[in-house]
A and B are shown apart, each in its own frame.
Chain A
Amino acid sequence: MTKKVVRINEATIRFAGDSGDGMQLTGTRFTEATAIVGNDLKTIPNYPSEIRAPLGTLAGVSAFQLMFGSTRVFTPGDMPDTLVAMNPAALKVHLRDLKKGGNILANSNAFTDKNLKMAGWEADPLTDGSLEGYTVYSMEMSKLVGKALENSDLTSKGIERTKNMFALGVLFWMYNRPIQPTEDWLRKKFAKNPSIAEANILAMKTGYNYGETTEIFTTSYSVDKAELPKGKYRNITGNVAVAYGLVAAAKKAGKELFLGSYPITPASEILHTLSGLRNYNVKTFQAEDEIAGISAAIGAAYAGALACTTTSGPGMALKTEAIGLAIITELPLVIVNVQRGGPSTGMPTKMEQSDLLQAVHGRNSDATIPVIAPLDPADCFDCAFEAARIALKYMTPVILLSDGYLGQGSGPWQIPDPKSLPEIKVSHPDSSARTEAGFMPYSRDANEARPWALPGTPGLEHRIGGLEKENITGMVSQDAENHQIMTDIRARKVQNIANEIPPSEIFGESKGKVLVIGWGSTHGSIHVAVARAQKNGQSVSQLHLRWVSPFPPDLKAICDNFDELLIPEVNMGQLALLLKAELIRPIHQLNKVRGEPFRASEIEEKINEILG
């Protein structure tokens, strides 16, 4: 039988299974193969906060979605075209998202009476006709790998665990992806245990051949290379990109990078990545708690390192007082918050954008701080680099607001030429900075930054601290007038950073009916929705903010050119609140907090509603 190959522009695939089924790994391997083929892509993991929730339950379902295409891909896709369901619970949880007519690849061996009951199916959906309207590929994955691996050294449990590689093999065939990179990867990963590597490779090949030879599959799909800008690429998650951006900034500043951090989901990968870079002039310090993480970083900044701390919302709350200390001592520091659902412990593995007000205003007193927010995983590199550059130039802490979707999601990253990255100029005063009146630790340069005099420099011994200091001399001061001066300087210093922000890019016309304003990871969904609206002839443009504090200087002028403003946010209206105060005009809001990013269609609907 000759099988058809259908050329498609894009596809969205979701891998879903029990949290022990290895869905994140399967998805990641498919992503790597897809990246190598040259498609543009975006990914998003979706997993429970329990490491191993009870087997077969709805709570234990872990999923990974990616969208890839031959044109630019801005989101991991709204509704999947293909759903891999390794058990009944996975099908139950994810079926409602599947496109009508979409493909379901199921491991029928897992559809036992017990599992069906646990997932809340009254009868087996694979056989009772309830999946009518979908294309169902019901495969005995467990049995097939059992047969293929009957001569392997693995235990029957070990053999059963390779079924995700079978599913991956089928998907590789179905979407014409190369299997070699995964083969290489498995051999490297299990170098010390070759029988596991070979078993997984065989399971994957069995799946691939199953697609190729059995009659249940009649069609496979091909997706052409995307027309990305020329250059070298690799796939990268936002958390790894943040780590790389910080390393790059440290190198360009001629500084040691110091990370003080405490493990927290979904930010820990930054700590993991940097901890593996001992030969890159990186010191990592896993502290006893969140407060010690930032405190050690502040100490390292005082001693002359490019210092950073990484966390998520609850950790940010704990670091609050220390952020105030970094502000008043005017030390450079990068604070990374990979946001998750809250309040309190909230939803550790689910994304949210609800720490914006905390970042901008969440401290005692008037404690202004610059806040930058990356728009996709690759942009996490640029934002981390920029955050570090600004921190060093202005002698200020900077908050980088990522989120779980950016941090753990991935996309292609055009690898920059290290030589093209700007040098970051850092200077430390030497003994000659001491005059007859002594050393002035709170004197100011053109940016109103104070000198970064390092302990160990003869003659510049001075004291800093959390008590208000007299401008210029740095002596402890509780003087009324001085406090006003210092508060004004701290605010002005942050405001001056607006001068660093390049003119805002507007997607669409610079004048029109609706301007959709976003920040952070909503960029992709907004972009797709606005593009569709523009295609429909609607007068809609997009403005995306990377700096949310300070705002870009051209913000008001741009907004004045539009009749209506719309802000979609994965929070209950935090940027909208800030912008209403900034612009003094009504703003349409689209808010949801469901632990997941917007679908483009949701934003499209809101645009249509506004335009009537």
Chain B
Amino acid sequence: MSESIIEIDDLNLTRKDFVPGNEVRWCPGCGDYSVLANMQKTLPIMGVKKENYAFISGIGCSSRFPYYMDTYGFHSIHGRAPAIASGVKLANPDLAVWVITGDGDGFSIGGNHMIHALRRNIDMNIMLFNNRIYGLTKGQYSPTSLLGKKTKSSPFGSVDRPFNPSAIALGANATFISRALDVDAKGLQESIKRAQRHKGASFIEVYQNCIIFNDGEFEDVENKASRPDNALFVVHGEPMIFGKDSDKGIIMNDHHPKVVTLGKDWTEKDLLVHDETNSIITNLLLEMTFDPTNPTPFGILRAVEAPTYDDMLVAQIKEITEIRGEGTLENLFYSGDVWEVK
């Protein structure tokens, strides 16, 4: 987004401004509804004019998202949204560009575009709806489905080792990585706000329940009762504490994260402190994702500053134009050895 901060009150936008008239056609109970609602709630207060938002998506259930936002939108082809969004942002750097994608769209058919968009650090926001299943094609395993997952295309259990998308984002040197839960409005809004404000490619992984083909996939963290003991919500600069009674924490043990109970043996001072600018901490958190002895981390996992592709391109154009002057067709056409026929 352009950093020109417009006074939020001046824009006078509300959630209603982002809701188009058409009917939303996700399955009743789908986790996508909550993400949509939180997006519509958050964008009006971001200081960006409504007409400057552009939502680009690929193919899949979540990729219908742009149709349900009353902004500029482009529902494109399978896996290509990050590439299309790159062109949108480079052609008009004033736009606030959002990519909406799923685990199949973004990490199977579109994996290549995903890593390169993140690597280039083009200033846009990529939101991944990770439901660990192919929903639109009616229930095949996806590249994030866990081993052993029984689906229509893996009736005897998947033998396909899954990706940890946020870890791939880190591997691609993404400058912003967050993880949120579809049922956690506060976490979602925090991720959306921070991503929108972040200059560079932002990656938000949303754990999203597919009520039809993969219901309960994230039950341990979605269920309000079991969530506190299974989810770790990290805050920059604060010790990693979780649990129903906030009595558990994460320490570093033999180079690995380990859960301890606060009390007589351990105090807050012993715990790891989250640092969103430290990739080693981010890596530690991501390692906990598939580890049954550790909680699943959520929150802003990483946020660092780095030059963006779009800024560097614009700066280079400016610099070369200052040195060489604005090119004219005359200059261009006569740039070789010219002769005249009289």
- Which residues on A are within 8 Å of B, measured CB to CB? 32, 35-36, 38, 181, 225-236, 244, 247-248, 251, 256, 258, 260, 277-281, 283, 285, 287-289, 291-292, 295-305, 307, 321-322, 324-325, 329, 415-416, 418, 421, 454-467, 475-476
Contacts and interface: CB of A to CB of B under 8 A. Distances in A.
Given A292-B116, A415-B333, A456-B52, A280 B74 contact: no
Contacts of B80: 291-292, 295, 322
B105 to A, nearest CB: 13
Contacts of A305: 91
A27 B51 CA distance: 55
Contacts of A467: 75
A425 to B, nearest CB: 18
Given A287-B83, A292-B112, A296-B83, A457 B334 contact: no
A463 B73 CA distance: 4
A244 B90 CA distance: 21
Nearest to A298: B84
Contacts of A297: 87
B95 A303 contact: yes
B208 to A, nearest CB: 21
Contact of B337 (A32, A299, A303, A463): A32
Given A283-B313, A298-B84, A299-B84, A465 B339 contact: no
B340 A232 contact: yes
A35 B337 contact: yes
Given A278-B320, A302-B88, A418 B329 contact: yes
B85 interface: yes
Interface of B: 22, 49-52, 54, 56, 59, 66-67, 70-77, 80, 83-92, 94-95, 112-113, 116, 313, 316-317, 320-321, 323-330, 332-334, 336-342
A70 to B, nearest CB: 12
B35 to A, nearest CB: 18
Nearest to B94: A456
A37 B342 CA distance: 13
Contacts of A461: 50-51, 70-73
Given A289-B112, A418-B330, A233 B87 contact: no
A465 B78 CA distance: 11
Q: What are the 9 A-B residue pairs with the smallest beta carbon separation, nearest first?
A: A299-B87, A465-B75, A296-B87, A295-B83, A280-B327, A418-B329, A300-B91, A292-B83, A463-B73
A314 to B, nearest CB: 16
B315 to A, nearest CB: 10
Nearest to B310: A283
A92 to B, nearest CB: 34
A233 B338 contact: yes
14 contacts: A36-B339, A233-B338, A234-B333, A251-B329, A279-B325, A279-B327, A291-B83, A295-B84, A322-B77, A454-B92, A461-B50, A461-B72, A465-B66, A465-B76
Contacts of B89: 299, 303
Contacts of B325: 279
Contacts of B51: 455-461
A455 B93 CA distance: 11
Given A231-B340, A278-B321, 5 more contacts: A296-B84, A299-B83, A301-B91, A455-B72, A466-B75
Given A292-B116, A303-B95, A467-B75, A234 B87 contact: no
A454 B113 CA distance: 24
Contacts of B324: 279
Given A229-B341, A299-B56, A463-B67, A307 B333 contact: no
Contacts of A301: 87, 91
Contacts of A418: 328-330, 333
Contacts of A455: 51-52, 54, 72, 88, 92, 95
A300 B342 CA distance: 43
A296 B90 contact: yes
A236 B336 CA distance: 8
A235 B75 contact: no
A321 B326 contact: no
A321 B83 CA distance: 14
| Best-surrounded residue of B50, B325, B329 (most CB of chain A within 10 A) | B329
Contacts of B71: 461
A286 B128 CA distance: 25
B87 A260 contact: yes
Contacts of A36: 337, 339
B339 A233 contact: yes
A502 B335 CA distance: 31
A227 B316 CA distance: 44
Contacts of A258: 87, 90-91
**Which of the listed residues B317, B325, B326 has the most CB atoms from chain A within 10 Å of its own CB?**
B317
A359 B338 CA distance: 35
A283 B91 CA distance: 8
